Each structure stands twice: as C-alpha cells, then as structure tokens.
C-alpha cells in the first residue's frame, strides 16, 4: 500500500493527473506541438542511448535470453489480444487486428514510468532494458497487421505500413540511440550524459502533462467503445503482465527487470501502431484503438498496473 501511495504522489503521475483535470475543467492549457515533438525525440533518443551504453557493458549471454523472451512475447501478445477481441468480444476482423497491433507493441512512456517507479522504491532494473523496448516495438504490429491481409479482408497497403513501422521516428530514435550508445560506451557518453540523464525526469513530467490532456480528450469516447473494451483494456494487459513476469524471471531478469518487462508487455502503443494501422487498415475505427490504448490501458498502468507488476514480480520471484 505504501508503494502504491508513493506512486500516486510521484511528479510523473501527478503531472498526468493535472493534464486530465485541466481538460476536464476546459482550461486553455496547451503544450505547443513543436515542443511536444521535441520532448518525444529527446525521451526516445535518451532511452536508446542509455540502453546502448548499458548493453556495451553487458555480457552477451546475460542479454540473449531476455532478448529472445521479449521477441517471443512480441509474437504472443497480439495473437492473444486478437483472439479475445474476435472470439470473446465478437469484434469484426479489421478492428480486432487494429487493436491487437497496439497491444502487441509497447508504450515507451509506460516503460520510463516503470523504471522510475522501481528506482523510487529502491530497486534497479537491468541497464539494457531500453534495448528490449526496441525489440518489442515491431513484431507485434507486424503480426497483427498480417492477420487481415492473409485472410484477404484488408484494403490498405501492408508494404507501406511495414515501411512506416520500420522507418517511424520511434524505431529510428530507439534503435539509433542504442547503436550510438553501444559504440560510444560509457566514457564517451559521459560528455553528453548531463543533458540526456539529468534533464530526463523534467522532460518526462512535461510529456506526461500533455498525455494527461490527450487522455482527457478521449474520456467522452468511453461511452462509444462499450464495457467489453473497457474490461479488455484492463484485464488483458494484466494477463500479459503476469506472463511477462514469469517468462522474464525464467530468462534470468532480476525481480525489478521482470516487473519493468511486464509493464512494457502490458502496455498499448499510441505512437508507432496508430501510424501503421492508418495505412494498413484504413477502415479500422480510431475511436476503438486509441481509446483502448491511451484512454484505458495507459492510465491504468500508470496508476495501478506498474505497482501491481512490481508486487507480482516480488511474489513470483520470492523476493
């Protein structure tokens, strides 16, 4: 309970709540679009750089099993999400695939919040965790988008969508940052670390303020998506999180690393996946996939999910 209260009192969660309150009370508060884009670039590149530096100091065998498990989870989660949506929720093929693509990918901001939470309670996940974010970003989107195309019920361009995923800003910044950090190593990274490390939390607070406002804009859509999708946006991520904790611990991750992996796997993308879905599945309803990932799963994970995964990892890991 203390850990949960501590999470609610963190600047990141409070900034997110402030953004929601501002929009619910019809405030004219806005984060300028160029500033939001700059914050996105900064956060994603910083994640990649720190992950690359940590990877350069990590023996390959230590990273190999978590990397393989993360890739495996990137294949499993979109298929399980699709099955629930299609066969339990009776959702049409295109919308079920579109939502599954979001839940097969990852929210980088949820990852950052999970790392911050673990550090706040005195636990440090493995330094190479940002590399796992890059691994998890792509496969889930590809698997989910392939389903309607293989069944001949998609009208958009799969080739263009895959190009959008592979060349999207999030992948370029994450993967590029990992490569730069790996090549530079800790000594050469030291010259830029004051900018990318010291200012990181402050930039995250501003970014969460904007996401809070974006979430509030989707509150009215909750009535449109129905109770099933609300339940899906909470329960399926929890199931994915439990699976990730178990497999993460089996792969050799620490308790805190497994908890962060669970937060990653349980999250829903709202940057890379929407861009790909708009191209590959133009008939998919954005109200469904954006409200589910950003309006339901993201606030749940930020407030309750991350502490839950931490406790699950401690319990399963015997810590």
Question: Do 114 and 259 form a contact (C-beta atoms < 8 A)?
Answer: yes
- Domain residues for 283? 2-20+32-316
What is the 8-class DSSP label of residue 310?
Answer: H
pLDDT at 234 over 90: yes
What does the angle CA 312 – CA 315 – CA 316 come to, to the nearest 5 degrees? 85
In a domain, 27, yes or no: no
The confidence band for 6, taking pLDDT boundaries of 50, 70 and 90, is low
Six token digits for residue 6: 């501590």
Q: Is 226 left (phi over 0), alpha (psi -120 to 50) or beta?
A: left
pLDDT at 149 over 90: no
In a domain, 11, yes or no: yes
Q: How many helices (H) and strands (E) does the chain have?
A: 18, 0
Q: For the segment 287-302, what is each residue's pLDDT rounded down to a tens digit? A: 899 899 989 999 999 9
Q: Which residues lie closer than 8 Å to 115 by C-beta, 6 or more apart?
A: 125, 129, 260
What is the 8-class DSSP label of residue 138?
Answer: T
As a whole number of Å, the end-to-end CA separation of the chain is 17
More confident residue, 27 or 318: 27
CATH classification of the domain holding 157: 1.20.1530.20
In a domain, 63, yes or no: yes
Question: Do 241 and 308 form a contact (C-beta atoms < 8 A)?
Answer: yes
* Percent of the chain with pLDDT strictly greater than 90: 54
Query: How many structural domains compose the chain?
Result: 1
- Average confidence (pLDDT) over 161-167: 76
Q: Is the pTM of this model over 0.85?
A: yes
Q: To the nearest whole number, what is the mean pLDDT of the chain?
A: 89
């Amino acid at each position: 309970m203390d850990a949960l209260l501590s999470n609610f009192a963190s600047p990141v969660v409070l900034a997110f709540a402030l953004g929601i309150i501002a929009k619910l009370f019809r405030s004219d508060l806005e984060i300028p679009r160029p500033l939001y884009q700059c914050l996105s670039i900064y956060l994603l590149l910083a994640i990649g750089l720190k992950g690359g530096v940590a990877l350069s100091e990590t023996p390959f065998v230590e990273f190999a099993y978590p990397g393989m498990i993360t890739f495996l989870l990137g294949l499993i989660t979109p298929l399980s999400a699709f099955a629930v949506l299609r066969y339990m929720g009776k959702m049409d093929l295109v919308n079920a695939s579109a939502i599954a693509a979001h839940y097969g990918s990852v929210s980088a901001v949820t990852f950052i919040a999970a790392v911050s939470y673990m550090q706040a309670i005195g636990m440090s996940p493995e330094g190479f965790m940002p590399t796992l974010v890059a691994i998890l970003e792509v496969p889930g989107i590809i698997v989910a988008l392939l389903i309607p195309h293989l069944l001949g019920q998609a009208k958009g361009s799969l080739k263009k969508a895959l190009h959008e995923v592979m060349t999207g800003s999030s992948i370029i910044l994450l993967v590029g940052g990992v490569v730069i950090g790996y090549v530079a190593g800790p000594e050469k990274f030291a010259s830029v670390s004051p900018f990318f490390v010291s200012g990181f939390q402050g930039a995250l607070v501003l970014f969460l303020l904007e996401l809070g406002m974006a979430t509030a804009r989707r509150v009215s859509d909750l009535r449109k998506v129905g109770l099933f999708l609300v339940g899906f946006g909470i329960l399926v991520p929890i199931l994915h999180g439990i699976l990730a904790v178990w497999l993460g611990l089996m792969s050799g991750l620490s308790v805190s690393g497994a908890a962060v992996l669970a937060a990653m796997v349980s999250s829903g993308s709202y940057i890379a996946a929407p861009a790909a879905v708009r191209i590959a599945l133009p008939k998919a309803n954005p109200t469904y996939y954006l409200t589910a990932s950003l309006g339901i799963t993201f606030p749940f994970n930020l407030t309750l999910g991350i502490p839950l995964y931490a406790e699950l990892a401690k319990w399963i890991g015997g810590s």
